């Protein structure tokens, strides 16, 4: 006989029905009943980590790779409030993370005492999460709970943003009706959709140098195959934004690279900034994507589809979800135009000599490694490690390219491996490693074996680049590779290109545990992208 449905099980089944494949979490007393159902029901696997920020980052990265929601489960207050930053990151970068928090029981609320983990009010955590989620609820009414769970989880899927559910600890085992199935998004008005698609194509046809710019929404809504088809039919060059790096990896399209204004590949910058018609699909209009340009992009000549809206010059069509738009465009284009699939040139052929390593040498070594073996999914942190990734051939990559939080890389790499079963390549600086690198200790339990490239310049180097006079950007010379064995992995400390190539080969061969390649970089040695970024921003500031 199957056990009667209770709130906890109803919730887990509803998550699974919406494509959730795993839960990351850290328990606490208010969340013990919730974690008990998670463990005993076996509906979804549970991965516990060490500190709540890592739980949020891992779930975020898993969601990005699945293009389905993932779950970050925590306890009330001391747990949940530790995870606000990762969920803010997921909100701004549109990653569908479901936050499940244990909460004070209904019985706890009426004792007249303040409760442990309470901040200002019992509802403080709920109020705080309102600001970083697209929908949220405290499930304190068991009758209405199924409808409310459906609403909140559907918003997570359909808007591709985080949501928050707080489960009072004494209701987890209360019997509960099943959660209704996913309600699809409201279909757009047919006439509006047709008019919009016609107008877009007319503008592209009139243009002399149209360019397609893609960003994360195309992946969030599972549209990479359809956008690939669209690129081929239009036959126009395509670039990703900085945030969208990794999109269309391996697709046969006229791919020109990643746009990054003054910091990017000058050919790509010229292509985008001189275009008379940019078509932006799913693009986030952030400063990291578009603010680093000396030549302002003329938005009156641009077409931007994002957040279920399409803006052409001065007018906007509302309720045009991206999947419907891409489908309408594809349907109007029959014969493919001639196009030439292209791959930009990336640095290859590192000389394995005694030269000191540079960020460019790291990218070159990774390109060579991927040619010799196979490509790996990448999780990158913020800092020069992410700029270095732009010199690695376009590959599935998750990174906080817009929100720009540090501490993402290591836990995100764990989330990637949990989600895909594939060994991840983690790129992280020493500053960010000090924040969340410790989470590698969880690898042994779950047999995760990422390869970590730790850029150790004993420095918050990106900050130094902006403000070289400050001594607070100096960090200590910590022997990170020596820590690896104690954490259940293997460490390699490398100074030269020869040692780097050796360490990479040894790491690929040793699949038994995580590999920490600590790459010693002199302070002040930057990737070419970060160098251009800093020079460009200084130039622009000086002019103001
Ligand atoms: C991408 C990620 C994973 C697999 C294939 C491509 C790139 C999309 C960028 C992204 C993010 O970092 O948010 O989803
Ligand atoms: Mg550093």
103-138 pLDDT per residue, tens = 999 999 888 888 899 989 999 999 999 999 999 999
Specify the residue with its C-alpha closest to ligand 1, atom 12: 398
Give the model's confidence band at 297: pLDDT under 50 very low, under 70 low, under 90 confident, else very high: confident
Q: Whole-angstrom Cα distance, residue 237 to residue 255?
A: 6
Is any ligand 1 atom within 6 A of the Cβ of residue 219?
yes
**What is the average per-residue pLDDT within 453-457?**
98
Q: The tokens of 396 are what?
A: 């599935």
34 domain residue, yes or no:
yes
Q: Is the CB of 376 under 6 A from ligand 1?
A: no
Q: Is the CB of 247 under 6 A from ligand 1?
A: yes
Tell me how far the alpha carbon of residue 521 lies from the centroid of ligand 2, in angstroms.
Answer: 9
Q: What is the CATH number of the domain that holds 237?
A: 3.40.50.1220
**Residues 367-405: tens digit of each pLDDT:** 999 999 999 999 999 999 999 999 999 999 999 999 999
349 belongs to a structural domain: no
CA torsion 260-263-265-266 (nearest 10°) is: 100
Tell me which of 168, 198, 230 is where a domain ends: 168
Question: Alpha-carbon distance 453 to 429, whole Å?
Answer: 8
Q: Is 61 in the pocket of ligand 1 (CB under 6 A)?
A: no
Beta strands per DSSP E along 253-353: 255-258, 277-281, 302-306, 309-312, 315-317
Rounded to the nearest whole angstrom, what is the distance from the C-alpha of residue 335 to the centroid of ligand 1?
A: 30
* Within-domain flag for 464: yes
Average pLDDT on 353-380 reads: 97
56-87 pLDDT, tens digit per residue, is 999 999 999 999 999 999 999 999 999 999 99
324 and 423 assigned to the same domain: no
Phi, psi of 441 (to 5 degrees): -60, -20
Q: Are 125 and 81 in contact (CB under 8 A)?
A: yes
H/E run at residue 224: helix 224-234
CA-closest residue to ligand 1 atom 10: 398
Last residue of a domain, one of 122, 137, 168: 168
- Across 394-473, the runs of DSSP E, i.e. the strands, are 397-398, 425-429, 451-456
Contacts with 524 (C-beta within 8 Å, 6 or more apart), sequence order: 461, 464
**Does 94 share its domain with 149?**
yes
**Of 224, 379, 396, which is best to mutate to test ligand 1, by the most ligand atoms within 8 angstroms of its C-beta?**
396
* CA of 510 relative to ligand 1 center, distance in Å: 27
Does one domain contain both 489 and 406?
yes
Residue 340 lies in a domain: no
* Residue 220 Cβ contacting ligand 1 at under 6 Å: no
What pLDDT is attached to residue 538? Answer: 84
**Nearest CA owner, ligand 1 atom 3:** 396
C-alpha of residue 63 to centroid of ligand 1, in Å: 10
pLDDT average, residue stretch 446-457: 98
Quickly list DSSP for 72-130.
EEE-TTTTGGGGHHHHHHHHHTT--EEEEEEE--TTGGGSSSPPTT--SSTTHHHHHHH
Cα(452)–Cα(455) distance, integer angstroms: 9
Q: Give 418 Cα–ligand 2 centroid separation in angstroms.
A: 27
| Residues 152 and 11 occupy one common structural domain | yes
Ligand nearest to the CA of 63: 1
How do strand 309-312 and strand 315-317 relate by DSSP bridges?
A: antiparallel
Q: Which residues contact 473 (CB under 8 A, 6 or more apart)?
A: 459, 460, 461, 463, 464, 467
Is position 516 within any domain?
A: yes
Residue 64 CA, ligand 1 centroid: distance in Å: 6
Taking alpha carbons only, the member of 260, 218, 265, 258 closest to residue 239 is 258
Predicted pLDDT at 3: 59
Cα of 160 to ligand 1 centre, how many Å? 14
pLDDT of residue 478: 97
Q: What pLDDT, in 10s, does the model give residues 300-349?
A: 889 999 999 999 989 999 999 999 999 999 999 986 667 788 888 999 99
Q: How many angstroms separate the CA atoms of 72 and 58, rounded?
A: 8
What share of the chain in percent tops pLDDT 90?
Answer: 88
CATH number at residue 100: 3.40.50.970
| pLDDT given at position 485 | 98
- Contact call for residues 24 and 62 (beta carbons, < 8 A): yes
What is the Å distance from ligand 1's center to 465 Cα?
27
| 97 located within any domain | yes
Rounded distance from Cα 127 to ligand 1 centre (Å)? 30
Number of domains, the chain: 3
Q: Which atom of ligand 1 is nearest to the CA of 65?
A: 3
Residue 184 or 522, more confident: 522
What radius of gyration, in Å, describes the C-alpha atoms of the chain? 24
Asked if residue 482 and residue 377 are part of one domain, the reply reads: yes
Q: Whose CA is closest to atom 7 on ligand 1?
A: 246
Q: How far is CA 210 from CA 205, 221, 314, 485, in A?
A: 8, 24, 18, 53
Q: Are residues 163 and 225 in the same domain?
A: no
Domain that holds residue 227: 190-332
Q: Which ligand is nearest to the CA of 243?
A: 1
Tokens 């990643």 belong to 258
- Are 512 and 370 contained in the same domain? yes
Beta carbons within 8 Å of 336's beta carbon, 6+ residues apart:
232, 233, 235
- Ligand 1 atom nearest to 220, measured from its CA: 14
Same domain, 237 and 383: no
**Residue 249: CB within 6 Å of ligand 1?**
yes
CA dist 294 and 289 (Å) reads 13
Ligand minimally distant from the alpha carbon of residue 431: 2
* Ligand with smallest separation from the Cα of 244: 1
Q: How crowded is residue 181: how many other Cβ atoms within 10 Å of its Cβ?
A: 11
Residues 6+ apart with CB under 8 A from 177: 5, 10, 146
Mean pLDDT (whole number) for 481-491? 98
Both tokens of residue 256?
A: 């020109």
Which residue, by CA, sits nearest to atom 13 of ligand 1?
A: 398
List the Cα angle 540/409/466 in 5-degree steps: 25
Write down the pLDDT at residue 199.
Answer: 97
Residue 1 pLDDT class (50, 70, 90 cuts): very low
Among protein residues, the one whose CA lies closest to atom 11 of ligand 1:
398
Examine the domain organization and report whether 499 and 373 are in the same domain: yes
> Looking at the structure, do residues 268 and 162 belong to the same domain, yes or no?
no
Residue 530 to residue 510: CA distance in whole angstroms: 32
* C-alpha of residue 299 to centroid of ligand 2, in Å: 36
Residue with CA at minimum distance from ligand 1 atom 9: 244
**Exposed/middle/buried for residue 354 (C-beta within 10 Å: 0-12, 13-18, 19+):** exposed
- Gap from CA of 58 to ligand 1 centroid (Å): 14
Is residue 68, in this structure, part of any structural domain at all?
yes
The pLDDT of residue 168 is above 90:
yes
Last-in-domain residue among 313, 332, 351: 332
* Ligand 1 in reach of 246 Cβ (< 6 A): yes
Q: Assess if residue 247 is contained within a domain.
A: yes
Residue 383 contacts by C-beta under 8 Å, 6 or more apart in sequence? 406, 428, 429, 431, 432, 455, 460, 461, 462
Give the number of whichever ligand sits closest to the CA of residue 456.
2
The finding on whether 200 has its CB within 6 A of some atom of ligand 1 is: no
Query: How far is the C-alpha of 460 from the C-alpha of 530, rounded, in Å?
Result: 13
pLDDT at 482 over 90: yes
Closest by CA to 158, choosing from 221, 218, 215, is: 221
Q: What is the mean pLDDT of the chain?
A: 95
448 and 50 in contact (C-beta within 8 Å)? no
Q: Are strands 46-48 and 23-25 parallel, antiparallel or unpaired?
A: parallel
Does one domain contain both 63 and 210? no
Q: How many helices (H) and strands (E) does the chain have?
A: 21, 19
Q: Do residues 421 and 487 both lie within one domain?
A: yes
Q: What span, in angstroms and rounded, lies between the C-alpha atoms of 26 and 21?
A: 17
């Amino acid at each position: 006989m199957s056990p009667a449905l209770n709130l906890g099980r109803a919730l887990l089944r509803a998550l699974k029905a919406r494509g959730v494949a795993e839960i990351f979490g850290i328990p606490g007393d208010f969340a013990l009943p919730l974690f008990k159902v998670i463990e005993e029901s076996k509906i979804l696997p549970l991965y516990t980590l060490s500190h709540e920020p890592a739980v949020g980052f891992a779930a975020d990265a898993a969601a990005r790779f699945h293009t389905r929601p993932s779950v970050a489960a925590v306890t009330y207050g001391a747990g949940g409030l530790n995870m606000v930053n990762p969920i803010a990151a997921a909100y701004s970068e549109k990653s569908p993370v479901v936050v499940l928090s244990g909460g004070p029981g209904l019985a706890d609320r009426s004792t007249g005492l303040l409760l442990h983990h309470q901040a200002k009010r019992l509802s403080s955590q709920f109020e705080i999460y309102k600001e970083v989620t697209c929908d949220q609820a405290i499930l304190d009414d068991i009758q209405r709970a199924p409808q409310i769970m459906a609403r909140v989880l559907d918003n997570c899927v359909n808007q591709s943003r985080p949501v928050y559910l707080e489960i009072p600890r004494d209701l987890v085992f209360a019997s509960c009706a099943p959660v209704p199935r996913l309600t699809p998004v409201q279909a757009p008005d047919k006439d509006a959709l047709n008019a919009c698609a016609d107008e877009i194509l007319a503008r592209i046809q009139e243009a002399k140098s149209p360019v397609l710019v893609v960003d994360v929404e195309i992946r969030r809504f599972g549209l990479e195959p359809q956008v690939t088809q669209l690129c081929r039919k239009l036959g126009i060059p395509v670039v990703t934004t900085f945030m969208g790096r990794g999109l269309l990896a391996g697709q046969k399209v006229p791919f020109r690279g990643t746009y990054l204004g003054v910091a990017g590949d000058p050919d790509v910058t010229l292509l985008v900034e001189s275009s008379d018609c940019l078509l932006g699909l799913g693009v986030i209009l952030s400063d990291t994507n578009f603010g680093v340009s000396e030549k302002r992009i003329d938005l009156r000549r641009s077409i931007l589809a994002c957040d279920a809206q399409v803006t052409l010059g001065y007018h906007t069509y509302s309720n045009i979800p991206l999947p419907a738009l891409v489908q309408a465009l594809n349907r109007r284009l029959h014969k493919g135009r001639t196009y030439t699939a292209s791959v930009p040139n990336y640095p290859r052929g590192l000389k394995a000599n005694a030269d000191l390593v540079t960020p460019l040498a790291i990218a070159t070594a990774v390109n060579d490694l991927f040619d010799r073996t196979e490509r790996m999914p990448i999780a990158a942190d913020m800092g020069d490690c992410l700029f270095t990734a732009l010199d690695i051939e376009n590959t599935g990559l998750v990174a906080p390219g817009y929100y720009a939080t540090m501490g993402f890389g290591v836990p995100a790499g764990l989330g990637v491996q949990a989600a895909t079963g594939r060994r991840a390549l983690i790129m992280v600086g020493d500053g960010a490693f000090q924040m969340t690198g410790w989470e590698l200790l969880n690898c042994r339990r779950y047999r995760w074996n990422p390869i970590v490239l730790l850029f150790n310049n004993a420095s918050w180097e990106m900050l130094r680049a902006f403000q070289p006079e400050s001594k607070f950007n100096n960090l200590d010379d910590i022997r990170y590779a020596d820590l690896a064995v104690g954490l259940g992995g293997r460490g390699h400390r490398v100074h030269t290109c020869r040692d780097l190539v050796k360490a990479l080969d040894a790491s690929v061969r040793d699949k038994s545990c995580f590999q920490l390649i600590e790459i010693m970089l002199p302070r002040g040695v930057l990737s070419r992208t970060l160098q251009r970024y800093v020079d460009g921003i200084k130039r622009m500031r000086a002019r103001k």
